[in-house]
Structure 1
Amino acid sequence: MGDVVVLPADAPRRVELERRGWPVVARSFGAQLDGDAVERERLRSLVDRAGLPVRALDVADVDAVLALDVATVGHYPGSVATRHEPFDRERATPSATRRGFGVWSGDDLVAMTFVDLLVGDDGAAAGLAAGSASAETDVTVVAVGHRGRGIGTAVKAASVLALLDAGVTRFRTGGSADNPAIIAANTALGYVRDEEWVTLEAGAL
């Protein structure tokens, strides 16, 4: 791999780099969902539609989280802007500021999403209802044999509903523009794309 640069899609530097022979090798995006725009009943129906138990993850689930991460770590499309680094035990452990949600089939964790919280000065991580916070999705993934069933959408919907009830007022997410599943999930939840990024690589032609 040659030198790699990630830029906003409309950045002037992109034109210069492409003129110099740096092709776009990947595209990514950011999107936002404001709390007051959430359609709660719609999201609840998306959770119910999964037909499997969906719940918040806790410290007892870390081994299951790590197992699903190992099984799917090479499945993320895109380039450096959307690369997923394998979880260690710390990142796989839910906390007051890092919430995890999962979908279960029997004893198997078949989908998960982790969300990092950014709490304002007037709120505390363990009691968000007293203040306000933003939530940034770190990762959402579904086991291979369970894809295409709305399970990824369900687990993201469950995370939004739970965090909305906890006092989160703004949700951010993103991913590869070459990942139609996550784009469809975000659209179903009501996220609005507001950032477009390109990854350019020297010598990729």
Structure 2
Amino acid sequence: MGETIVLPAQTSRRAELEADGWVVIARSFGAQLDSARIDRQRLQALVAKAEGSVRELADADVESVLRLDAMTAEDYPGSAATQHTPLDRRAATPSASRRAFGAFGPDGDLVAMTFVDVEGTKAETQFTVVHRAWRGQGLGIAVKAASVLTLAAEGVTQFRTGGSADNLAILRANDAVGYIQDEEWVTLGRNVR
């Protein structure tokens, strides 16, 4: 596949491009959760249900973050709109504006994490990932729920997230946390001859 274009799914330009031979190669979404709709008890239960422990990540966790990121670098579905750039030490280090939350297995290994950029009262999830061996156990849900609970308690009122519409696990996690999908995007591509 050669050139790609990412655009809102409902735009009239999509029909024009498809008529010209472009095809949908990936779908992505955006979703929002406002603090007034947060069900704190439910989110606390989702965090408590996780095997191991869930907590905010700190500088001391950077090596674990880099290790999990390297192990899962090829696991992000989708296309140009949902690509994950592998973390370097700076991007793996949490800060006041780049918060991170992780789930640790009983042996202390980091097995799930989410990174969230915070600006004032708005937060946007950059990515959430779970180690292959730990998928299907609610850990992606738990780290997203922990991020919402912590940041809402600090005054964040609007939470955004997104990702590949082909990633059923993240769609389920977002639904469980309370996000409402409000954007749909398509990636169009065409063969270069």
Q: Is the 8 A contact 1:113 1:137 kept in 2?
A: yes
SS in 1 for 2:182: strand
Report the counterpart of residue 5 of structure 1 in structure 2: 5
Report the counterpart of residue 108 of structure 1 in structure 2: 109
- Number of residue-to-residue matches in the alignment: 191
| Amino acid across the alignment from 2:175 | T
Alpha-carbon distance between aligned partners in 2 of 1:198 and 1:32, rounded to the nearest angstrom: 19
| Amino acid across the alignment from 1:85 | T
Please identify runs of 4+ aligned residues in structure 1 that moved more than 4 A: none
Alpha-carbon distance between aligned partners in 1 of 2:150 and 2:52, rounded to the nearest angstrom: 17
| Amino acid across the alignment from 2:48 | D
SS in 1 for 2:92: coil
Displacement of 1:203: 1.6
Displacement of 1:185: 0.4
Alpha-carbon distance between aligned partners in 2 of 1:31 and 1:171, rounded to the nearest angstrom: 8
Alpha-carbon distance between aligned partners in 2 of 1:189 and 1:74, rounded to the nearest angstrom: 25
Q: Is the 8 A contact 1:21 1:203 kept in 2?
A: no
5+ residue gaps, structure 2: none
Report the counterpart of residue 168 of structure 1 in structure 2: 156
TM-score, normalised by the number of residues in structure 2: 0.97
| Amino acid across the alignment from 2:111 | V
Work out whether 1:152 is the aligned partner of 2:153. Answer: no
Report the counterpart of residue 93 of structure 1 in structure 2: 93
Question: What CA deviation, in whole Å up to 9, does each residue of 1:153-201 have, x standing for no partner?
Answer: 0010001000000110000000000000000000011100000000000
Alpha-carbon distance between aligned partners in 2 of 1:197 and 1:62, rounded to the nearest angstrom: 33
SS in 2 for 1:140: strand
1:62-73 equivalence runs, <5 A? 62-73=62-73
Displacement of 1:51: 2.4
Identity over the aligned pairs, expressed in percent? 59
| Amino acid across the alignment from 1:108 | D
